[in-house]
């Protein structure tokens, strides 16, 4: 028998488990400390390791209940149904009828063929998704690295320009007090100084945003010093092997097989076992 104390303990334990699960899902799983990447290749490996853990966990959660009933999924298009009916006669010498029916929705050949195609496409689609993630993360990390290096290269010049304009403004203020400068000169320099300081602030904010995004993808707080990229660009682009095109093609095949499996031509065949008993009251 449940008491109030038992219910409180149950709710406390359930709340604790839900909190732990929510924390893991929000944080992308429990991860070990990440070693600083020496180049973009190491950073890409770190990003892919985190993405593959999330992808593998989602795949296992999706297919956890599928492997246990492979035989039934191969032939049954739905759940079996059991029905019982009783018909009583209103005649004096009539016959009462009791019927027991067990129906099995058997998959049609078209539906089994569509399922076989889906079983072939799904593993290839998972592999193509992994390759697409690697391609996308690789391009994103290269873009972040190039933007950060460009911003870092422009930072000294932007800082020097802002300092120079601040110095010029200070000198013009002294000359204005001495009467050897016009006020419009000071206003023009002040405007240029504000524009230079705004550009410098935007440059620093861009660097900080790039660093945060890089850390969220790789777990590394700092960008690597070198790209370490020795990829060779082929003389003729191989568009057929592009990860995005491959993913689109496999998605199209999956959707086509799903449409065939759900069409009216692929409706399951209903096979029923009926037992009937006739009795005279």
pLDDT score of 204: 94
Tokens of 188: 């023009």
Cα Rg for the chain, rounded, in angstroms?
Answer: 35
User: Looking up tokens 């027991």, which residue turns up?
Assistant: 100
pLDDT digits (tens, 9 = 90+) for 103-137: 888 888 888 888 888 888 888 888 888 888 888 88
pLDDT score of 46: 73
Q: What are the residue ranges in the chain where pLDDT is below 50?
A: 1-33, 53, 55-68
The Cα–Cα gap between 204 and 244 comes to: 34
pLDDT score of 16: 40
Residue (of 243, 232, 250, 236) closest to 130 by Cα position = 243
The Cα–Cα gap between 14 and 20 comes to: 10
What sections of 64-108 are H helices per DSSP? 70-75
Q: Which residues contact 93 (CB under 8 A, 6 or more apart)?
A: 280
Q: Mean pLDDT over all residues of the chain? A: 75
pLDDT score of 117: 83
The Cα–Cα gap between 119 and 147 comes to: 43
Q: How far is CA 122 from CA 63, 117, 198, 242, 255, in A?
A: 11, 9, 51, 18, 11
The Cα–Cα gap between 258 and 252 comes to: 10
Tokens of 259: 């449409």
pLDDT score of 72: 64
pLDDT digits (tens, 9 = 90+) for 253-275: 888 888 887 888 778 888 888 88
pLDDT score of 229: 66
Residues for the chain: how many in total?
281
Residue (of 155, 165, 160, 151) closest to 194 by Cα position = 165
């Amino acid at each position: 028998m449940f008491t109030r104390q038992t219910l409180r303990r149950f709710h406390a334990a359930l709340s604790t488990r839900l909190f732990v699960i929510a924390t893991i899902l929000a944080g992308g799983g429990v991860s070990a400390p990440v070693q600083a990447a020496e180049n973009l290749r190491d950073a890409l490996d770190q990003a892919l390791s985190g993405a593959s853990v999330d992808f593998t966990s989602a795949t296992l959660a999706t297919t956890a209940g599928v492997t246990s009933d492979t035989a039934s999924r191969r032939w049954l298009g739905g759940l079996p149904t059991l029905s019982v009916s009783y018909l009583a006669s209103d005649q004096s010498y009539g016959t009462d009828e009791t019927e027991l029916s067990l129906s099995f929705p058997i998959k049609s050949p078209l539906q089994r063929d569509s399922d076989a195609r889906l079983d072939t496409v799904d593993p290839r689609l998972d592999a193509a998704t992994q390759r697409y993630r690697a391609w996308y993360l690789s391009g994103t990390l290269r873009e972040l690295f190039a933007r950060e290096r460009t911003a870092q290269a422009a930072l000294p010049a932007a800082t020097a320009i802002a300092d120079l304009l601040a110095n010029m403004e200070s000198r013009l203020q002294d000359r204005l007090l001495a009467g050897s400068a016009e006020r419009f000169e000071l206003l023009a320099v002040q405007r240029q100084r504000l524009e230079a300081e705004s550009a410098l602030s935007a440059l620093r904010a861009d660097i900080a945003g790039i660093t945060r995004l890089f850390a969220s993808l790789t777990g590394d707080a700092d960008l690597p010093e070198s790209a370490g990229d020795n990829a060779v660009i082929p003389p003729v682009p191989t568009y057929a092997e592009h990860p995005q095109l491959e993913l689109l093609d496999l998605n199209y095949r999956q959707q086509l097989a799903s449409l065939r499996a759900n069409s009216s031509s692929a409706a399951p065949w209903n096979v029923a076992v009926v037992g009937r008993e006739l009795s005279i009251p």
